[in-house]
Amino acid sequence: MEAMGWGRYPKTTAELIQPANSRALQKFIASQKKSASCIGRGSGRSYGDSALAEQLVSSRFLDNFLELDQQQNVLRCGAGVKLGDILKICIPRGLFLPVLPGAKAVSVGGAIAADVHGKNHHLDGSFCAHVQKISLVLASGELVTCSEQENPELFRATCGGMGLTGVISDATLSLDSIPSSYINQRSLIANNLAECFEHIEDNADSKYSVAWLDCLATDKNLGRSVLYLGEHAESKNMEIDTMYGERFGLGVPFSTPSFLLNKTTMSAFNASYFGAQKKKKRSTTLGYNNYFFPLDRISNWNRLYGSKGFLQYQFVIPSESALDCITTVLEKISEKGKGSFLTVLKKFGESNENLLSFARSGYTLTLDFKNEPTLFSLLEDLDRIVLAHDGRLYLAKDARMSEEMFKKSYPNWEKFMAIKNKYDPKNRFASLQSNRLGLTQ
Ligand SMILES: Cc1cc2nc3c(=O)[nH]c(=O)nc-3n(C[C@H](O)[C@H](O)[C@H](O)COP(=O)(O)OP(=O)(O)OC[C@H]3O[C@@H](n4cnc5c(N)ncnc54)[C@H](O)[C@@H]3O)c2cc1C
């Protein structure tokens, strides 16, 4: 079958293996004599090539809810369970996932493997901070448990390890109690980047915080933005808000011609969005779907970038250099005549001890670029800027980073390799990304 990530770049041919349960998964891994590389595959919401290999071991049928302890706020479920499905079960019981990425289809296995972050990293850390235990099928076919207490080195390598230590079959997660599933949102307008940072810092105790940036604004307007702050609403209402996308059937059925997305249309969109937000009410209450998963309103929106797909570029840099770095990045994009359709800025809290986790203290900027031949030299320029500011790129979004950049910016890669070699000496688990980054092969 043809396989790709959410960015639809790169594409490859792969064999899809869909074990019916964890025993079948163990049997498949243990029985493999041939040297084909394989990698765990969740919902394919990573953008680049981290979930691409000759064999994709899907968690699609590892989707059972195994145990919900409502006294202790603990859930055990299969790795293939989608975060949106956990919310449907948990919200009526007053429970919620402590960390949510921006797509509800993301699987538990994928969330652990990328150690995903949400709009509350500055307060609550990343997904794996709330993972108590993982059941992992190793290259030998053995099923092991890892946690902070049991096989801790394997746990630290698996959380954020992009599937390279084995296939996760299930996980035990801590849940939060919430007063309601609705979010009180406040928005603040910033007329430039410095103002945006000020707003974020002034509101650092806000539970959720994310800024949308007009990437195409220049000069005195550079970095003009809208900061969205959110808190769980204090009401007893635990209704599940309606699934807008499914209800209205909004979707992109095929790839649109990529010329529709160009600098002029993007600039017009960004300017009118900023103008509209300025006029809008500053406070509103939203259902959790609208607040956490706004892009899911249009299914297959990734097809809007045309058949060649798009690349998402997400980096993190320390707070001290954030204003300088992001200003330089936005100026470089403008100088090269490019634009990002969607640009998002978030503040991160402290890093954790997971060896390949992305999040670290500072600011993270996310940009989307249509895939076109001239893009790659711009991204190399951006790599140099990011490295010069002691930053790094997010593996879950990456499709083209060089081995050199990876090894310079992920200081624990050698420690990770030592654990990988111990549990998977023949590199049974490898992806197109891990080969490119010099972690396998
Ligand atoms: C619209 C959108 C918004 C997003 N917003 C955010 C965000 O706010 N924050 C954030 O951090 N990320 C975000 N992401 C990225 C996404 O959360 C991650 O890429 C996540 O890893 C995708 O999970 P998945 O189930 O789709 O896994 P896949 O994309 O299938 O795989 C991702 C990685 O996980 C590994 N993996 C998957 N399942 C298993 C398993 N069972 N065992 C071992 N390894 C496994 C794969 O090998 C691969 O390395 C977003 C993505 C989209 C499309």
**Three-state SS letters, the chain:** CEEECCCCCCEEECEEECCCCHHHHHHHHHHCCCCCCEEEECCCCCCCCCCCCCEEEECCCCCCEEEEECCCCEEEEECCCEHHHHHHHHHHHCEECCCCCCCCCCEHHHHHHCCCCCCCHHHHCCHHHHEEEEEEECCCCCEEEEECCCCHHHHHHHCCCCCCCCEEEEEEEECEECCCCEEEEEEEEECCHHHHHHHHHHCCCCCEEEEEECCCCCHHHCCCEEEEEEEECCCCCCCCCCCHHHHHCCECCCCCCHHHCCHHHHHHHHHHHHHHHHHCCCEEEEEHHHHHCHHHHCECHHHHHCCCCEEEEEEEECHHHHHHHHHHHHHHHHHCCCCCCCEEEEEECCCCCCCCCCCCCEEEEEEEEECCCCHHHHHHHHHHHHHHCCCEECCCCCCCCCHHHHHHHCCCHHHHHHHHHHHCCCCCECCHHHHHCCCCC
CATH fold, domain 182-400, is Alpha-Beta Plaits (3.30.70)
Is 78 close to ligand 1, i.e. is its CB under 6 Å away? no
Is 43 close to ligand 1, i.e. is its CB under 6 Å away? yes
pLDDT at residue 76, rounded to an integer: 98
Choosing among 1.10.1660.10, 3.40.50.11540, 3.30.465.10, 3.40.190.10, the CATH entry for 61-178 is 3.30.465.10
Ligand 1: nearest atom to the Cα of 6: 53
Is 117 close to ligand 1, i.e. is its CB under 6 Å away? yes
In this predicted structure, the answer to whether residue 252 has a pLDDT above a threshold of 70 is: no
Q: For the chain, what is the mean pLDDT? A: 92
Ligand 1: nearest atom to the Cα of 108: 25
pLDDT at residue 270, rounded to an integer: 72
* Banded pLDDT at 233 (limits 50, 70, 90): very high
pTM assigned to the model: 0.95
Mutate to test the pocket of ligand 1, among 12, 39, 46, 57 (most ligand atoms within 8 A of CB): 46
In this predicted structure, the answer to whether residue 247 has a pLDDT above a threshold of 50 is: no
CA of 336 to the centre of ligand 1 (A): 30
pLDDT at residue 299, rounded to an integer: 79
* Banded pLDDT at 441 (limits 50, 70, 90): confident
* Banded pLDDT at 275 (limits 50, 70, 90): confident
How are beta strands 182-190 and 283-287 bridged, if at all?
antiparallel
List where CATH 3.30.70.2520 sits in the chain. 182-400
CA of 411 to the centre of ligand 1 (A): 22
CA of 422 to the centre of ligand 1 (A): 25
Ligand 1: nearest atom to the Cα of 346: 8
pLDDT at residue 422, rounded to an integer: 98
